[in-house]
Chains A and B, each alone.
Chain A
Amino acid sequence: MNVSPPVWPDRLFDTLKRADIRQVGYVPDAGHARLIERCKADADIRDVALTTEEEGIALAAGAWLGGERAALLMQSSGVGNCVNMLSLMRACRFPLVTFITMRGEWEEFNPWQVPMGSIVEPVMKLCDAAVLRATKPEDVAPLAERAVQQAFGEERVVAVLLSQELIGKKVWVK
């Protein structure tokens, strides 16, 4: 058994680059640490650290008004912070792709993560988002590609949930 850093965050980064994402909003998050690091290091991506996730929804709307594509990286608890701001996306048909690292569902040591983590999928669907879920590392890139195409093709919010088993503090590989 080897413990090695997961490769899916780098594949996710490749997808963001292919999709010409130019603004990436995020609240610092352990699960997204590698992807955030890649975005910060890229000269063509503006990384925007947020105080709360709903700022990233409004940021993406402004980016699209100005002709740029944005993505939002957040943890499952952040979804609860976004609910009213998501009405902006639905009312105006703004595109947004968001990648959500899940907590409260697999090897979770903090029970306070469960209430929000357990309702992310229905909450996002109620907010008119399309919801995709990746549970295996090899699912991440194809689902991310599909999410990008759907978000910008249909002008809607598409959320990719990254299951906690992808992120758990150890990733076991063959």
Chain B
Amino acid sequence: MTGTLERRAAMAALMQGRGDDLLVVPGLGSTTYDLAAAGDNDRNFYLWGAMGGAAMIGLGLALAQPAKRVAVITGDGEMLMGMGALATIGIQQPDNLAIVVFDNGMYGETGGQQSHTGAGVDMGAVARGCGFKVCLEVSDEAGLADLAGRLKHGGLLFARVAIRPDEPPRVLPEKDGAILKRRFRVALGLTA
């Protein structure tokens, strides 16, 4: 089940040509570092905790900003902890939300222990069962290019990106949650 895509290159490919209408919520740990490495942006809401919460933060944001596109880009371990969110999102069917899971089948932050997806759980099948009509399996550069296009224009989708199990050097963004929140809201034209 483990893939061959390199995570930093995969994130860079998804963020290439990103416009102001794309709002991105990564999960805590590696996907936050990947997103920071792809280029800091006020419309990134980095997570340093709240494991299991990324998809639901994405749902609240997508419902509040229907004219924008919201991408949650998280890891398999983070998604597993909040898997019920897929059911909750499935019945809401927001058409501006993408849930993207960088799946390497392991918990990189804690030493590379095997995750449930690494042991065979099929997250795409779970998403399909929860009502995601578009479920993509991304395992090569053509798939990444297709997904990057859908992040800009597509409707509700789930994508599993099969990344290889490696751990590039950390790129650490801002850690102060109040600052991250305020700059995000200001970028959307809201009061701080």
Residues of A within 8 A of B88 (CB): 48-51, 55
Size of A's binding interface in residues, CB under 8 A: 32
Beta-carbon contacts of A49-84 to B below 8 Å, as 1s and 0s? 111101111111111111110100000000000001
Shortest CB distance B23–A (Å): 8
Contact of B53 among A66, A67, A88 (CB under 8 A): A88
Binding site for A on B (CB under 8 A): 23, 25, 45, 47-65, 68, 82, 84-85, 87-88, 91-92, 177-178, 180-181, 184-185, 188, 190
User: Is A13's beta carbon under 8 Å from chain B?
Assistant: no
Among A23, A57, A59, A64, chain B packs the most CB atoms within 10 A around the CB of A59
User: Is A149's beta carbon under 8 Å from chain B?
Assistant: no
Secondary structure type dominating chain B contacts: helix
Given A58-B50, A88-B50, A93-B178, the answer on whether A49 and B91 have CB atoms closer than 8 Å is yes
Contact of A57 among B53, B84, B91 (CB under 8 A): B53
Query: Whole-angstrom distance between the alpha carbons of A90 and B52 in the complex?
Result: 17
Count contacts between A and B, CB distance < 8 Å.
123
Q: Is B63 in contact with A63, judged by CB distance below 8 angstroms?
A: yes
User: Is A103's beta carbon under 8 Å from chain B?
Assistant: no
Q: Is A85 in contact with B185, judged by CB distance below 8 angstroms?
A: no
Given A65-B185, A67-B188, A93-B181, the answer on whether A88 and B49 have CB atoms closer than 8 Å is yes
Among B45, B64, B87, B180, chain A packs the most CB atoms within 10 A around the CB of B64
Binding site for B on A (CB under 8 A): 22-23, 46, 48-52, 54-68, 70, 84-85, 87-88, 91-94
Residues of B within 8 A of A46 (CB): 63, 92
Q: Is A66 in contact with B181, judged by CB distance below 8 angstroms?
A: no
